[in-house]
Amino acid sequence: MNQLDALKQFTTVVADTGDFRQLAQFRPQDATTNPSLILKAVQKPDYAPLLQDTVSKWHGRDLAEVMDRLLVRFGCEILSIIPGRVSTEVDARLSFDTNATVARAERIIGLYQAEGVHIDRVLIKVAATWEGIEAARQLESRGIHTNLTLLFSFAQAVACGQAKVQLISPFVGRIYDWHKKQAGSAWDEAAMAGANDPGVQSVRAIFNHYKHFGIATEVMGASFRNVGQITALAGCDLLTIAPDLLAQLATAEAPLARALDTGAARALDLPAVNYDEAGFRYALNHDAMATEKLAEGIRAFAADALKLEQLMLAA
């Protein structure tokens, strides 16, 4: 059994890509997208016609609406291949506007429903700012399920659990990147690999907290830099993995064991943690890595959304 098949025994495997033609070979349950992945896809000859067709069909409409229609077009193509859910992201430029995020999410869901897609097959991705988490709380109360992204801290995860969001995506690789950069020449790659990886440790702490306290929010590790980070999180509810790493797992034959376990988490002695808005903002501010990576991630997704808009205008 290869490592990809072994991983599927413990964890729901999700494909992290807008390149839906790659999906069938890996047989993932779910798939995730974001503006950066869609931007990358539409610049390939195979996918450029989707952008041109969408822009042509909805010419004259508000650019933000056409963008949402393009994202939903990709999502529908993905859903025709996978059995589970697709995650579609709200514009990162709305990350600090609760009302605008809710309105945009409702429009995206409406577009999916107009294509015959059941509401339970879509997760709306929202940045895990305080405003984004509050938007997710409102959306969940209306039956729209959410995936809280750009999640780097325990505080963000706790707040998401309190909001009863469907799923969170802690970013393993970007946490690793920050700590490696901070350490500079003192970084010891071998010593900080696997279970010692700071990104892996972050997800493990969140997983243990959720399972110990019976929090139903799903944990989906994301943003991986190497296979070792993935195998060190075997047993996590879900892991969303880029196609190149899925391919590496599919050709690896080394044994793979469960690393995270719900029963073990329930047996731990952990303190209860809760946050109001002030406590959340202070805890996030106190975490330099999470503060920097959240801001950086929002800027990067916003920049790619702008580039996508520019391609649409030129189409």
- Residue labelled with tokens 């990576």: 293
Name beta bridge partners: 32.
16, 87
What CA–CA distance (Å, rounded) separates 284 from 127? 14
CA distance to 177, 194, 226, 245, per residue, from 197 (Å)? 10, 5, 11, 17
Expressed in percent and rounded to 5, the helix, strand and coil fractions of the chain are 55, 10, 30
Which run of H or E residues covers position 139?
helix 130-141
- Residue labelled with tokens 């010891």: 188
C-alpha 14, offset from chain centre: 10
Q: Is 125 a catalytic residue?
A: yes
Of 125, 211, 293, 307, which one is the catalytic site residue?
Answer: 125
- Residue labelled with tokens 């972050």: 202
C-beta of residue 98 within 8 angstroms of C-beta of residue 129? no
To 5 degrees, how large is the angle CA 37–CA 54–CA 308? 35
Which residues does the annotation mark as catalytic? 125
